[in-house]
Chain A
Amino acid sequence: MLLGAALMMSSCSDGRVHSQAVYMLVDTSGTYAQEMNKASKIINYLLATLNPGDSMAVAKVETRSFTEKDIISRVTFDTRPTQATAQKRAFKAKIEAFANEVKGSAYTDITGGLIQGAEYLNETRAGTKTIVIFSDMQEELGEGTKRDFPIQLDGIRIVVLNVTKLKSDNADPRQYLARLKRWESRVRKAGATDWEMVNDLENNMQRILNIR
């Protein structure tokens, strides 16, 4: 009877996907590359919070970011906790190695990173998909880089972290606010389910993920 009940329960398993996938974009352009220590802390927080079966990728934002080459590390954690722990350790090691040799890029292609991130997240087929952008959100495209077209971010949460104010923002705060508004409007138009901004990383880290 118990076995039957167990089989019945397994056959009636929840159809929803409970796994999470996080794609983190780390801005390495200009002086923002110096913020890599903060980015490492956030990555560590994500590693500590994500569960077995979840997926995670960290990519850098460069001159042209719509490429797999910019993905520093990606992993789908094993469903066994021991294996997942080992994978997290390996992931952390890769990020540390990258942090030690990070170089600033000339331009900042956030849109390209978003498209790449959406592609990765859709491939994972996770239940909750989140793109975390660690950047000042000041996009600067190089010559010949085309990004002025609608993008698709259906079912993806967008969380922007540590949006630092530029010198020009300090002079005219409207620029900062307008920049953020523009990005929010763009991602919502692209189908993003949520737009979240976290600047106080010490106290609001839990807002990055939809923790079960």
Chain B
Amino acid sequence: MNDWHSWLFWPDSVALSIFVLSVLALLFLYAAREPMHLMIHSLCHLFTQTSRFLARWLFLTAEKLQQRNRSVLLAHGEESAALLIDREFARVGDIVRKDMQDYPALQRKLLEEVTRIEEDYHKCGEVPPPPPEWVDAIESVSQIKSGGDMPRKLLEELNKSIHKIHDKTVGEYRHSYEDRHKILKGMQPSWRSVDKMLGEIDKKMVTLHGNARQIDGHMSKFESLRAKDDKTEHALTVSAFVQLAISALVMVVALGGAFVNYKLIALPMSEMVGASDYITDSLKTSDVAALVIILMEASMGLFLLESLRITQLFPRIASMDDKMRHRLMLASLIFLVILAGIESSLALMRDMLVADKAMLMRDLASAAPPAADSWLTNVPMAGQMIMGFVLPFALAFVAIPLESVVYSLRTVIGVVLVQGMRGIAVALRFASVLFKRMAKVLELVYDIPIVIPLKIERWVVSLRNPAAASATGK
């Protein structure tokens, strides 16, 4: 309590002691003014320079990191766009290949139809009636210059014949028209068939046109990616953030599924690996074994989706030849089915264990046995078994959001790092400015307690050299 009294020259006279101490301190501070100012200046300069150096380094590193992120982002974007274009081309190729395969048959059919129509058309052609014979006869009769009623009778006979022939000709002509109409009627299905075929061709052409438009869209995106403009980079970055958010959400849902899965098999796993073995103070080996089973299921699902080329986390699998890839897919699927079967069995065992333990507890508590079993008591067991079999397959699809997380997280971390570095750099720059100004402030603060000796110094200097004193005062 009285420690500060030890600083006093005369503990009985506190005021005097403090006064003497203050005078001594003032003298010391005045004497040390120049080195202290130098020290303050040096320290502030040191902090300023260091901050500036660090800020500059951070800005440069952030710039480099951004360049690197940008190149990776654009490369990934290009790769994705190229993949999309490739798939679109493959789709178009499939359509064209399929249509081209049918095209010879279609062409042959069309040709046949056209030939039939042509033939029918020719058949339908109007046959001009033969020139009437009576014209020659009338010319002959007209050349008879004598004969009385002879020409008249001849003409009458001729008229009768003409009428007869006319009727016959008209009948034949009508009959012929009737035949032509029949042919034309028969042509109707051919026209319809041709119309249908042309319609199909038109529909396919529309689909192809749509695909072509999509390819155009992808190509323009690809071109903008190749151009490496800021707009594209910004769009890709935003897309990465969105992808990460969506994938993270799906992953959280999948984690919930994995947790349920874990709860289903953790207890029965103790029957396999023992319930009394611990890895850490609170972590049982059986719990870890259950976790390993779940992770193996997820891995098998990952390999399955990789071999199906749905995800592309492992380039080695993607670059395998089709036969090998097919084998890997089959192996993954078989393992997944086996693991699902194991899990379903474990779920059944869990139910049995729980029931057994409940019965033991009832025995120990000398409680009455439960009411007779009904089919309702088997529902949870069946549910557990079904869940045990289905959940591994559901977990297999985690590979898709996982891939998204892996790719988008890199971009997001990169952006966060760059922004963080820039933020720190700005703060350091601000600190450097602050330290620069702080030197003067600290010097002034130092001078405040020794203002009296300073004034005396100036007064003495002014007495000795008024001109210098006025310059110093200024």
State the CA gap A81–B352 with chains docked (Å). Answer: 11
Decide yes or no whether A14 CB sits under 8 A from chain B. Answer: yes
A132 CB to nearest B CB, Å: 16
Residue of B nearest to A53 (CB): B276
Given A14-B281, A79-B275, A79-B276, A88 and B360 contact (CB-CB distance below 8 Å): yes
Residue of B nearest to A6 (CB): B292
Contact A13 B279 (CB under 8 A): yes
State the CA gap A105–B21 with chains docked (Å). Answer: 89
State the CA gap A92–B363 with chains docked (Å). Answer: 9
Contact B278 A80 (CB under 8 A): no
Decide yes or no whether A16 CB sits under 8 A from chain B. Answer: yes
Contact A81 B288 (CB under 8 A): no
Contact A19 B279 (CB under 8 A): no
Chain B, interface size: which category?
20 to 34
Contact A89 B357 (CB under 8 A): no
Bitwise, A25-58 to B at CB < 8 A (1) or not (0) is 0000000000000000000110110011110000
Contact B285 A2 (CB under 8 A): no
Contact A16 B353 (CB under 8 A): no
State the CA gap A92–B270 with chains docked (Å). Answer: 23
State the CA gap A125–B278 with chains docked (Å). Answer: 16
Decide yes or no whether B364 CB sits under 8 A from chain A. Answer: yes
Contact A85 B278 (CB under 8 A): no
Decide yes or no whether B322 CB sits under 8 A from chain A. Answer: no
Contact A92 B278 (CB under 8 A): no
State the CA gap A19–B288 with chains docked (Å). Answer: 18
Decide yes or no whether A18 CB sits under 8 A from chain B. Answer: yes
Contact B274 A10 (CB under 8 A): no
In the complex, which residues 287-310 of chain B have their Cβ closer than 8 Å to any Cβ of chain A?
Answer: 288-289, 292, 295-296, 299
Residue of A nearest to B357 (CB): A85
B269 CB to nearest A CB, Å: 10
Residue of B nearest to A5 (CB): B292
Contact B360 A81 (CB under 8 A): no
Q: Which chain B residues border A82 with CB–CB below 8 Å? A: 271, 352-353, 356
Query: Out of A12, A13, A16, A81, which one reaches B357, CB within 8 Å?
Result: A81
A18 CB to nearest B CB, Å: 5
State the CA gap A9–B289 with chains docked (Å). Answer: 10
Contact B363 A89 (CB under 8 A): yes
Bitwise, A58-83 to B at CB < 8 A (1) or not (0) is 00000000000000000000011110
Contact A52 B296 (CB under 8 A): no
Contact B279 A47 (CB under 8 A): no
A47 CB to nearest B CB, Å: 6
Q: Which chain A residues border B296 with CB–CB below 8 Å? A: 2
Contact B279 A79 (CB under 8 A): no
Contact B295 A2 (CB under 8 A): yes
Given A6-B292, A48-B364, A13 and B285 contact (CB-CB distance below 8 Å): yes
State the CA gap A45–B360 with chains docked (Å). Answer: 11
Contact B276 A18 (CB under 8 A): yes
B149 CB to nearest A CB, Å: 128
Residue of A nearest to B289 (CB): A6
Q: Which chain B residues border A89 with CB–CB below 8 Å? A: 360, 363
Contact B276 A54 (CB under 8 A): yes
Bitwise, B249-289 to A at CB < 8 A (1) or not (0) is 00000000000000000010011001111111111010011
In the complex, which residues 322-360 of chain B have their Cβ closer than 8 Å to any Cβ of chain A?
Answer: 352-353, 356-357, 360
Bitwise, A167-185 to B at CB < 8 A (1) or not (0) is 0000000000000000000
Contact A6 B271 (CB under 8 A): no
Q: Which chain B residues border A51 with CB–CB below 8 Å? A: 275-276
State the CA gap A44–B282 with chains docked (Å). Answer: 25
State the CA gap A10–B365 with chains docked (Å). Answer: 38
Contact A13 B276 (CB under 8 A): no
State the CA gap A51–B284 with chains docked (Å). Answer: 12
State the CA gap A52–B299 with chains docked (Å). Answer: 32
Q: Which of B275, B282, B288 has the most CB of A within 10 A?
A: B275
State the CA gap A18–B353 with chains docked (Å). Answer: 22
Residue of B nearest to A80 (CB): B271
Given A9-B279, A89-B363, A53 and B274 contact (CB-CB distance below 8 Å): yes
Q: Which chain A residues border B299 with CB–CB below 8 Å? A: 2
Contact B277 A79 (CB under 8 A): yes
A128 CB to nearest B CB, Å: 12
Q: Which chain B residues border A13 with CB–CB below 8 Å? A: 277-279, 285
Contact B363 A16 (CB under 8 A): no
Query: Out of A5, A6, A16, A47, which one reaches B278, CB within 8 Å?
Result: A16
Apart from A53-B274, A80-B274: 7 A-B pairs, beta carbons within 8 A: A6-B288, A9-B288, A48-B361, A48-B364, A52-B270, A79-B277, A81-B271
Q: Which residues of A contact B (CB under 8 A)?
A: 2, 5-6, 9-10, 12-14, 16, 18-19, 44-45, 47-48, 51-54, 79-82, 84-85, 88-89, 92, 212
Sample of 24 A–B contacts (CB below 8 Å): A5-B292, A6-B288, A9-B279, A10-B279, A13-B279, A14-B280, A44-B365, A47-B364, A51-B276, A52-B270, A52-B275, A53-B275, A79-B274, A79-B276, A80-B271, A81-B271, A81-B353, A81-B356, A82-B271, A82-B352, A82-B353, A88-B360, A92-B363, A92-B364
